[in-house]
Structures are given as structure tokens and as C-alpha cells.
Amino acid sequence: MSDSLILEVANLETDVLTGIYSEETGRPQPLRITMRVGLRHQDQYTPDCPLSASKNYMDLKFAATDGLPKGVHFKLIEAVADHIIETLMLQDDRVRWVEVKIVKLAISENGEEIGITLKRERKA
């Protein structure tokens, strides 16, 4: 079994222009986004390792917030997840795979999580 490094940002809440129904279009919808990123890593992390030995967690947060194009309406939350994945893979070729879970908060009535999870692995 080999070691693996998974970076995670969980339960990030942000507003995104998304939806297909008339009551959803034209205004941002609250989403809860969790991202997991599998990173090719070095053999060992010592106390003095520089940040460049890993990936800045803020890159993940950026991909799901400021990295989304302003004023663009995503009909499907799958398209939001796809954009986040592409952003993270383009940023760093050490990214082996990305998994994005998106929950649509506006349609939850009893605390249930309604949404999708999209995972993509880098092609060799």
C-alpha cells in the first residue's frame, strides 16, 4: 500500500448563479461545497518543508469562490463542479484527482443534503 496525500476543504458555503427553474434564474443560490484533491506528493514531510512541497488550501477555496466566473449562470450544479475541477487541475499538474460535492441549500426542507458529487481523475 502506498501513501497518499488528500487535501480537503469541507462545507464551504457560497452563492452561485445556478438553476433551471424560473424561481432560480437571475439570482444566486446558496451552495455548500466540499472538495477533496489527491496530490502527487514527496516521500516525507519534515518540520521545515516549504509550502511548495504541498498545495495551498486556499487554492481550493479560490476555485469554488472567486475562481467561478462572475455573472455566468450555470444551469446545472454539475457544471459548477466541472469548472472547479478544471480550475484545480490546470493550476497544478501534481493534482491526480479531484472530487467535488455540491449541496443545494435552498431546496433542503429538513436538513437533508440534496446535490451531486463529481470526481475526475487526471488522464495519463
Q: What is the pLDDT of residues 13-61, one digit of tens each?
A: 999 999 998 887 888 999 999 999 999 887 788 899 888 888 889 999 9
pLDDT at 30: 96
Taking 70 as the threshold, does the pLDDT of residue 68 lie above it?
yes
90 — pLDDT class (breaks 50, 70, 90): very high
Phi-psi domain of 2 (left: phi exceeds 0; alpha: psi -120 through 50; beta: other): beta
121 — pLDDT class (breaks 50, 70, 90): very high
pTM of structure: 0.92
Residues 6+ apart with CB under 8 A from 76: 18, 20
94 — pLDDT class (breaks 50, 70, 90): very high
pLDDT at 31: 97
Domains and CATH numbers, the chain: 5-121 (3.30.1130.10)
Tell me the average pLDDT of the chain: 92
1 — pLDDT class (breaks 50, 70, 90): low
